[in-house]
Amino acid sequence: MYETSDLQEDFKELCEKEKNIEEQLNNVIDEVKNLEGNLIDLLNINENVYVLNNDTQQLTSILQNSSKLSNKINLQIQELDVARSRVSECQRRVQDLLDLQLCSEGVQNALKSDDYEEAAVHIHRFLAMDQHLLKQTADDMAQDCATVNQSLKLLRDAAAMLRNKISLHFKEAVSVTDIESVKRFFKLFPLLNMHEYGMENFSVFLRKMLKTTISEKLNLIKNNNSAKDKKNHIIFAEIITCLFEEIAQLISNHKALIETNYGVESLMTVVIALQKECDILNESILVEFKKQRDMNTRLHIVHELLKSGSSKTEYIEPKDIDTLLSEITIIHSRYKLYLRFIQSTVQEIVKDAELSKKSNKILADMESLIIKSDLSKQMQILISDYLLLERYYMEQSIKKAITMNSFEKDTLVSSMVDDIFFIVKKCIRRAYSSINIDAVCAIINNACTILETDVCNILRQQLRQGYSAGYLDLTQAYNVMIQGRLQQMDSEQTRVQFLLYLNNSDICGEYTKTLLSTLTDEIICSTKNEKAKLESCLSGFSSVTNAFHSVRDYGFQQIRNSVIKPRVVPWVDNFLTISHQLTFEEFSSYDANEPFIRSLIMNLESLLNEFKPRLTSTNYDSFILIIAEEVIAQLEKNILKTDFNRMGGLVLDKEIRTLTSYVSNATSWSIREKFSRLTQIALILNLEKVSEILEYWGSETCSFTWRLSPKEIKQFLSLRKDFKVDDVKKLKL
Amino acid sequence: MEDYKFLFKVVLVGNAGVGKTCLVRRFTQGLFPPGQGATIGVDFMIKTIEIDNEKIKLQIWDTAGQERFRSITQSYYRSAHALILVYDISCQPTFDCLPDWLREIEEYANSKVLRVLVGNKLDREDREIPTEVGEQFAQRHNMYYLETSAKEAENVERLFIQIAAELMEQARCKELPRYEIGSESIDQNATTIKTKPCCNN
Ligand SMILES: Nc1nc2c(ncn2[C@@H]2O[C@H](COP(=O)(O)OP(=O)(O)OP(=O)(O)O)[C@@H](O)[C@H]2O)c(=O)[nH]1
Ligand SMILES: [Mg+2]
């Protein structure tokens, strides 16, 4: 100690010296200033140069001296610092020595009164001391080494004893599941430098708690064999849920305890340990699940049924696996939620652990913890089994819906349409409830396959039977009678059936579109990649829609050939019976009656009226469109077979206008476009003279696009028998 | 609508660990991923390429080889335009499984799907399947054949470009169903313009 006071005195002295020197220095500096003034004078006067030189030299040497001095002072200050830190080191050692004494006494007292907390605090203090140095200090100070050594030994023994005792008590508490005591001793391990031991054994304890809770529940299920009971249809989903919740609770409940006593990274040990127990428990639950739910038999049968459509073993009713499917999706959704919980827990640990090196390791741990865990593998297998069963469920239910197809008298579509889409939606929604986008996508893919192949085929098959016309003209009726095929009842039924399936195809297309937009809204993805995946799979429904449309088009092709053509052609052929080379008088009387177009429209009207109540609105519009196309085509053919004069052209023009407006009014679609060729033909046949065509052809003011080629224009012009053949020929188009 | 003329779905299948993911990453991202794990379910990637001034969008489905993902991966076969069946030339078992894969393809895929057999890991010294053996197998089963290395970027570009070119050729001939994203196709009666037949010889 005297050393310190000495040094402090030295220091004071030095400080004073420094002050003095500083004053001197200031003086010198002042002097320099004066000298500078003098110097200028001297220079100006240009004399006494010698004196100046001398002064300068003197000044330089003064400055050098003062710099040397200040260096010296610096060095001394440094030495002083070293001395000071030594002093505080000394003080700590001495303190340690004193504490050592206190600790060894404290521990003894604490141990006597079984106050482990107090004892552990003392041991902790002791363990924080550098025991080697302690001894040295004792030597240095020539103190009684024996006392120190004795204290050291005593404390070491106490530490060992305490470690033993606490471990023992901890184990005891664990074995009787005395949670409070477990926590009590768990907190003490870090004080005794037993972090790893503490964490390890605490993890074992938590695993045991988890195992006890779950095994108890599982045994209940096992022994009662009650899973078959209807009210227990999700009993396995419940126990799995319980497993995950229990883990979550164990982690949350002990999070703070671990963080404060062991540091945040130690939580990872618990998470990993619980995951291991979770793997084991999950497996034993799933084993029991498979057993009680007859998974293997069912999977085997379904596999065979899906492959060949029949099974030697037996058949499974889709509704018999309905609840099983739901149970699996619940199980899987709970697994997903659990994963999210673990992920966020680990992320929190990483965030709090801060050090980036450590977080990488923690994240890698998590990777192998979660993704490669047995739990994940088991769940992947389960979802795979689910997908197989769900595919079967969907296929079979749809088949059923098709077999049980029925219709009410006044409905446009039959029951299978609603049923099929109900099933598809149900299956996709169920898959979605598993919170597994891959499962949703797979079911969507399967749904597209079934709709595009199975369902489309059924519709097409029905339509292939054709629409037996029933509108027989005399010759047709005669032929049919001769062949003995006239079975009024049957053909009526076929017709109803045909229109029903035509409507079914249309509504299936509509429903598919609706399904696509509903699912697009409903299904929420958590990542961009998942969203892209889902969208791509959903786009499969667009091609399903197209498939339904092409089935419908196929049906309309039949209608066109068996209904529309045979009826429309004779009506339009009436055109030929009417002369289009009219005198003015003939024109007037014709114009008043419009016999051709009126009867055509009347006939069309009755045809439309017959079909309107039996077709969906889209189909009805298509129906009109096809009629229009047929009328237009046949009319054009007939026009080409007819001779015209100006009056005849005028009549035709009026007829076409009437027809166009009639058909346009009948449908909600814009159909005028279809008539543009006819309208242009009428225009040509209605010209005053040949050259008038040039006002329309190649003219800037022409308000429409020509649908006729120059050759066709000439062809139609030449139908006007009042035009000179040469004029038409010479026409340059 | 997006700016492309053709959209093709390409699906990669084959045993676990043969390098499907590496092939796809090499092609779409130009890299050989270090130590990425086994694929879970299916992965999905898109790359747009250009052949003869035509933009072609390739939707690439990278399936998991592990057995337990089969019922997910199978569902992708039917809508595939091309199937790439991959094995590892340095691993006999992956070659021995090819018949199983073909059975699977037979069961689920469109019968007209373009099928390509790929022997990957060409860079490896310890080859177990000679080129001719792979070639013969492909020939016997009516498949194209190519050996690749995702690691050394050998033949990877070529693999996908050739598939795209072939599909484009087919599409021009047969009017493959095209998936037009976003097109509502309200106009069902729009006449389809038939392309001139170019391969009926
Ligand atoms: N030498 C060599 N190794 C390769 C090549 N391609 C892939 N590998 C290695 O093979 C291993 C498996 O590659 P992946 O691409 O993950 O295999 P995968 O077929 O996608 O496997 P799953 O996703 O499980 O079906 C990795 O370790 C790659 O580094 C290659 O061309 N050469
Ligand atoms: Mg992969």
Interface predicted TM-score of the whole assembly (ipTM), two decimals: 0.88
Q: Which residue has the higher pLDDT, A42 or A123?
A: A123
Residues A398-411: tens digit of each pLDDT: 999 999 998 887 78
Helix axes A617-640, A540-559, angle to 10 degrees: 50
Q: Output b/e per residue, B104-140; b: 16+ Cβ within 10 A.
A: bbeebbeeebbbbbbbbbbeeeebebeeeebbebbee
How many secondary structure helices (H) and strands (E) does chain B include? Answer: 6, 6
Report which secondary-structure segment, H or E, holds B45: strand B42-51
Residues A363-389: tens digit of each pLDDT: 777 777 788 899 999 999 999 999 999
Residue A417 makes CB contacts below 8 A (sequence gap 6+) with A504, A507, A508, A511
Residues A602-647: tens digit of each pLDDT: 999 999 999 999 999 999 999 999 999 999 999 999 999 999 999 9
β-strand pairing of B42-51 with B144-147: unpaired
Q: Are B118 and B156 in contact (CB under 8 A)?
A: no
Q: From the CA of B85, which ligand is nearest?
A: 1
Residue B92 is encoded by which pair of tokens? 């006999």
CB-based contact, B29 to chain A, within 8 Å: no
pTM of the predicted model as reported, rounded to 2 decimal places: 0.83
pLDDT at site B182: 38
Centre of ligand 2 to C-alpha A372, Å, is 14
* Among A445, A529, A549, beta carbon nearest to B75: A445
Residues A289-348: tens digit of each pLDDT: 999 999 999 999 999 888 876 666 688 999 999 999 999 999 999 999 999 999 888 888
pLDDT at site A154: 81
pLDDT at site B190: 34
Give the residues across from A646 on adjacent strands. Answer: none
Q: From the CA of B159, which ligand is nearest?
A: 1
Residue A297 is encoded by which pair of tokens? 């038999």
Q: Whose CA is nearest to atom 23 of ligand 1?
A: B39
Q: Are A207 and A274 in contact (CB under 8 A)?
A: yes
Report which secondary-structure segment, H or E, holds A257: helix A235-262
Residue A109 is encoded by which pair of tokens? 């007292």
Report which secondary-structure segment, H or E, holds B46: strand B42-51
Residue A50 has pLDDT above 90, yes or no: no
> First-to-last CA distance in chain A?
126
Centre of ligand 2 to C-alpha B16, Å, is 7
Residue A25 makes CB contacts below 8 A (sequence gap 6+) with A66
Residue A487 has pLDDT above 60, yes or no: no
Residue B196 has pLDDT above 60, yes or no: no
CB-based contact, B188 to chain A, within 8 Å: yes
* Among B44, B75, B179, beta carbon nearest to A529: B44
Biggest distance spanned by C-alpha atoms of chain A? 158
In ligand 1, which atom is closest to the CA atom of B150?
Answer: 31
> What is the overall mean pLDDT for chain A?
87
Could you tell which of B22, B69, B86 is best to mutate to test the pocket of ligand 1, judged by most ligand atoms within 8 Å of the CB? B22
Cβ <8 Å between B76 and A445: yes
Cβ <8 Å between B71 and A543: no
pLDDT classification of A162: cutoffs 50, 70, 90? confident
CA A100, CA A617: separation in Å to the nearest integer?
A: 99
CB-based contact, B41 to chain A, within 8 Å: yes
pLDDT classification of A450: cutoffs 50, 70, 90? very high
Burial class (CB in 10 A: 0-12, 13-18, 19+), A212: exposed
Q: Are A646 and A722 in contact (CB under 8 A)?
A: yes
Q: Which residue has the higher pLDDT, A246 or A366?
A: A246
Structural domains of chain A in order of their starting residue, each with its CATH number: 4-183 (no CATH), 194-396 (no CATH), 414-423+434-557 (no CATH), 578-730 (1.20.58.1970)
Centre of ligand 2 to C-alpha A286, Å, is 27
Give the residues across from B119 on adjacent strands. Answer: B87, B147
pLDDT at site A210: 96
* Among B71, B181, B185, beta carbon nearest to A442: B71
Please, which contacts does A355-362 make with residues 24 or more away whose CB atoms are closer than 8 Å? A358/A265, A362/A265, A362/A268
Q: Which residue has the higher pLDDT, B17 or A95?
A: B17
Residue B137 has pLDDT above 70, yes or no: yes
CA A362, CA A645: separation in Å to the nearest integer?
A: 96
Structural domains of chain B in order of their starting residue, each with its CATH number: 6-173 (3.40.50.300)
Residues on chain A touching B180 (C-beta within 8 angstroms): 542
The response to whether residue B124 sits with its C-beta less than 6 Å from ligand 1 reads yes
CB-based contact, B33 to chain A, within 8 Å: no
Helix (H/G/I), strand (E/B), else coil: A113: coil
Q: Whose CA is nearest to atom 21 of ligand 1?
A: B17
pLDDT classification of A569: cutoffs 50, 70, 90? very high
Residue A34 has pLDDT above 80, yes or no: yes
pLDDT at site B195: 36
Residue B127 is encoded by which pair of tokens? 């080859």
CB-based contact, B43 to chain A, within 8 Å: yes
Centre of ligand 2 to C-alpha B7, Å, is 23
Helix (H/G/I), strand (E/B), else coil: B32: coil
Average pLDDT of span A161-187: 91
CB-based contact, A387 to chain B, within 8 Å: yes
Residue A18 is encoded by which pair of tokens? 């420094």
In ligand 1, which atom is closest to the CA atom of B33?
Answer: 29
Residue A312 makes CB contacts below 8 A (sequence gap 6+) with A304
Q: From the CA of B23, which ligand is nearest?
A: 1
Residues on chain A touching B68 (C-beta within 8 angstroms): 377, 380-381, 384
Residue A546 has pLDDT above 70, yes or no: yes
Residue A169 is encoded by which pair of tokens? 């008590």
- Please name the residues between 411 and 440 in chain A that touch chain B, using a CB distance below 8 Å: 438-439
CB-based contact, A149 to chain B, within 8 Å: no
pLDDT at site B162: 96
pLDDT at site A595: 86
Residue A282 has pLDDT above 80, yes or no: yes
Q: Which residue has the higher pLDDT, A25 or A4?
A: A25
* Among A439, A545, A625, beta carbon nearest to B189: A625
pLDDT at site A479: 54
CB-based contact, A545 to chain B, within 8 Å: yes
pLDDT at site A562: 87
Least confident of A88-97, A208-217, A569-578, B50-59: A88-97
CB-based contact, A542 to chain B, within 8 Å: yes
Average pLDDT of span A247-275: 92
CA A456, CA A450: separation in Å to the nearest integer?
A: 8
CA A239, CA A261: separation in Å to the nearest integer?
A: 33
Could you tell which of B11, B15, B21 is best to mutate to test the pocket of ligand 1, judged by most ligand atoms within 8 Å of the CB? B21
Residue B76 C-alpha, separation from nearest chain A C-alpha, in angstroms = 7
Average pLDDT of span A474-485: 52
CA A131, CA A117: separation in Å to the nearest integer?
A: 22
* Among B9, B70, B188, beta carbon nearest to A384: B70
